[in-house]
Structure 1
């Protein structure tokens, strides 16, 4: 591993975002999403599935009496909510919100046992059973999310209460699980603690914290297999033919021997993110190579055009290469988010544009589709094709919803999306020595310390609707390199520095501009942003004979409110001409696309005639109106499709 190429994200407080896209999402997070989710965690949303989350903490803290409610991992919903709130405090100081968070943290502190253990499920249902089912019962998953919340809140406020609680919790975990004789030789059933421990290590510099993260990564899948040993102790077996076998947990072979993404998609994404963190912090090239191999498999063979992953509702899992069903897809919001995490961590290992490309694909498509435009309703599953009739009458589609829900009994996705959106400023820039990598384009101001001094940039753009990006160097050391990402979707671009054209070829997706920058220097990057039609690899059987529509980083779809029903009968030409239109009052402000299409006619068919060998297909003209995929299902239940049949 080339340590000289490791990059560091510019921290959230050093980036101020105020465009019409990301900042709007961030505003909704503060004004709608966080208050709504706090009510949901306190079971105050009428006609919504109860959370029990805060009630469990109040009972565990001795404030109320009662029994544990909800899932075994319910604690994690509060953790993700706290983490999201922490990020917002950087760019939207709010004394009342901070007070609410402090009160929630006090409940967590009071619920913690003297030995450092904290998990309301076992505290309330039988502490004698703790650490007997690390495979399924999420103790380390909840600990990981609460540790991430603690780190975020400490960075945002300087307050240590939750951080100290979680340091004690980590010490307890390390006293129970590890390589030493007498300890459980195991690892989390649902990964996330690996990432969290790396974040903690970057604060404490305690080698024990990094060592525990590395142990969890390295022990996974070793023989004897921890999950098999643990399950046999309970008189059960891990059955190879079950969808919940060792592959489901990414534990069938050691991580360095894994060649394809398998099993539960969110667990996988979190594991790979943790692997990348451990590789970076320990300089482990073999682990970095495993990350690259798994990245390649996902992005070349198992990722949807929207950036989401996880093809099957059975075990919420990956299936096999090129199996990408559009209507039966699971595409969990958390799985898309895990790809953003993985992409950012791969970008820290090496500045390659493809990592930022996937990060961008997720952020503009497959993640934010999980939330309504007002931030109060949510998708768990993000399909690329929906027919409400199938959802209502075919049980194969019971996981697919034609409209977003108020809440879920398993509500991992809504607060996860909150923490992603709240942390968006931290995805825009990375640095390495005297190089600033510009990963994403949005109106913002940034300042950061480089090896030779402070750098400050300001950027103005209407991205993703327009490809013109204007940057001003506000401060720079004597010599600095600006590395501008040229997105993988962009075929033509121009770069001007102080009005003069720059001719240089991108390297690994970044265009490097090295010079003695002066305050006031101007850089204009113009990314040509035509509407394009995209085909999938013919090995993707579900998309043979179909095309999708993109403009810039945004994936588009057809939806019934604009196009009427029966979208399965719609066809279009791959070389169709499109018109674009800015619609400020539609779906929060979008660029919509219009083109000419066709509809397969049924006028000659009798409704009682199911099959015939005699009728040739008859097409009629039909105008088509495309909207951004992320904005679908904000106008009631309706048909929707991303992939459209191509008329040949």
Structure 2
């Protein structure tokens, strides 16, 4: 049986200073550009002004207007994370102004949702299935926790604790309370965070109720629909799978429905497995993880192929050109796997977390930091591009909050253990074996697999250093102070080096990082006969700007010949500095076809040299085609 109590403690992002050429520039752009860009858009679209409570809106209102408070909340969280590591008086002043507006909008009973205060007060808590009240509350709670941690001020935290008290007085199993829960999970994980920030066990109890009550019969969404005078069968999605409420969570055996809702719920389930010492919830996580990762995840860490439900369809349904793969869904996948990783430090969770971070997450924002993707296809004919904003703008502030806090995903500690999950040049301040440790890491990762770690200790200390051997890594070398060590990875996929460490000790860890061709399971019918290029954690793609001689879908490669002849070139002048891959390919020629649609002769082919760039950087240059999976 897997652990129910977490053995690892993640090192907070505030104790990890990234200094590398990959993440640090992204974080700087996030601070200088993205946060300001989002703030402008929140102002232009009236989302911040809504907290002044003097707006008008049609009834019924579009759902994106109803959950506009959550977009402001995620921006508050993102700015708070940024200020926690990089103080900025002007940004802090802007944040303070927005926070004061939010607090001023709160009602005497603690309620805080601008739409239902101003537009439809009579409909408060009348449509949990569709109207996102608790979802907005959850994001406000997360923003409040982040704000308190960053500024030391409790004003927003106290306000959201009052809102949580109001929700707790309204919902629960006790007589006179509603037995409802939100159609869009989020408040569950937020209440766990609020519990830790305030120490109030009622918030943990409420989170547990919301998770346990989902999908129970008689179904609450049916009850509230009838109370509104509606037929439950008229629900547009036709199934409560969309809301993650079709069955109680412990009975669920497949990942279905809306992808973001699934990931936020599963993150809370992982939290509550630990908090409540609940093996059934941990087993549920493992069962659903196996289904998602082995049957329903894109190679980029994208999840949810369908636009219809912004989520899942059936096993092995992973079309590339029509992939939905919402940026927020990959962010949720990262959240969930980071939580699962803390139970026993199992490499498989870190591998998925890394896959999402280096591919399907970063593709969601341009290097300039002011354009975003909602959907992340793996192929496009040139019609899909990043945009400045969206009608439903959930992804931009979600990207911003993860970028600002990404340092928190690199390390974990135990009483006498340090785990290194991800690799980047950084300085980390840790506590292990009763002493302070500064870990200085130098590497060109993800373009090179060599990592150097230097220990700075207050005094000698005995502990175990755990280094992840990534799934993609076929070989490695390890040395301490120049002496080679022969260490085999344990069942968890980490190299464990236990010794008395001295200040100045240096670990050199070299991971082989060959170019690899990845094939999909034959059950993925859309990808039969195709391969993808990967090197280290980075998935590659072709763009027409680098391969202008033919439409990209006409390009094929000979796997054996490609791997023998391909070369890797680091280009500091390209896309912020990336490793590109060149290799031989073939391209179908269209000469001689004219207006003929069909003919009994095959088209000719020509030899070409193709160039592949990291998928996470696509659509940062000239508009054009893009393709991950190539004919083989």
TM over 0.5: yes
Matches within 5 A, 1:201-216: 201-216=195-210
Matches within 5 A, 1:251-330: 251-330=245-324
CA distance in 2, matches of 1:306, 1:571: 20
Q: Which residue of 2 aligns with 1:502?
A: 485
Q: Which residue of 2 aligns with 1:566?
A: 551
1:521 paired residue among 498, 505, 514? 505
Task: Name the SS for the 2:40 alignment partner.
Answer: helix
* Shift in Å, 1:238: 3.6
Residue deviations 1:600-629, cap 9 Å, x none?
A: 12223232x2223x2134221121010100
Q: Which residue of 2 aligns with 1:2?
A: 3
CA distance in 2, matches of 1:457, 1:276: 29
Q: Which residue of 2 aligns with 1:616?
A: 602
* Shift in Å, 1:234: 1.8
Q: Which residue of 2 aligns with 1:535?
A: 519
Matches within 5 A, 1:246-645: 246-388=240-382, 391=383, 402-475=384-457, 478-507=461-490, 508-564=492-548, 565-575=550-560, 576=562, 577-607=565-595, 609-612=596-599, 614-645=600-631
CA distance in 1, matches of 2:497, 2:397: 39
Conserved 8 A contact 1:5-1:432? no
Conserved 8 A contact 2:530-2:630? yes
Normalising by structure 1, report the TM-score: 0.94
CA distance in 2, matches of 1:432, 1:242: 48
CA distance in 2, matches of 1:451, 1:186: 46
* Shift in Å, 1:515: 0.6
Q: How many residues align?
A: 621
Task: Name the SS for the 2:230 alignment partner.
Answer: coil
Change (3 A) 1:15 1:244: farther
CA distance in 2, matches of 1:306, 1:29: 22
Conserved 8 A contact 2:441-2:453? yes
Residue deviations 1:565-587, cap 9 Å, x none?
A: 41111100112121111111111
Task: Name the SS for the 1:582 alignment partner.
Answer: strand
Change (3 A) 1:241 1:605: farther
Conserved 8 A contact 2:4-2:278? no
* Shift in Å, 1:632: 0.8
Q: Which residue of 1 aligns with 2:183?
A: 189
Conserved 8 A contact 2:460-2:503? no
Residue deviations 1:169-188, cap 9 Å, x none?
A: 00001111111111110111
Conserved 8 A contact 2:439-2:456? yes
CA distance in 2, matches of 1:143, 1:116: 11
CA distance in 1, matches of 2:179, 2:629: 47
CA distance in 2, matches of 1:5, 1:247: 29
* Shift in Å, 1:126: 1.8
Residue deviations 1:545-571, cap 9 Å, x none?
A: 000001100000000111124111110
Q: Which residue of 2 aligns with 1:97?
A: 91
* Shift in Å, 1:5: 4.8
CA distance in 2, matches of 1:252, 1:42: 37
Change (3 A) 1:514 1:5: farther
* Shift in Å, 1:65: 5.0
Conserved 8 A contact 2:476-2:511? yes
Task: Name the SS for the 1:152 alignment partner.
Answer: helix
Matches within 5 A, 1:31-42: 31-42=32-43
Task: Name the SS for the 2:418 alignment partner.
Answer: strand
Q: Which moved more, 1:472-481 or 1:302-311?
A: 472-481
* Shift in Å, 1:454: 2.3
Conserved 8 A contact 2:373-2:387? yes
Gapped regions of structure 1 (runs ≥ 5): 44-50, 392-401
Gapped regions of structure 2 (runs ≥ 5): none
What RMSD over aligned residues (CA atoms) do the two structures have, in Å?
1.5
Conserved 8 A contact 1:311-1:330? yes
CA distance in 2, matches of 1:65, 1:280: 43
* Shift in Å, 1:241: 9.1
2:174 paired residue among 172, 180, 189? 180
Conserved 8 A contact 1:240-1:246? no
* Shift in Å, 1:451: 4.8
Task: Name the SS for the 2:174 alignment partner.
Answer: coil
CA distance in 2, matches of 1:329, 1:65: 37
CA distance in 1, matches of 2:219, 2:590: 58
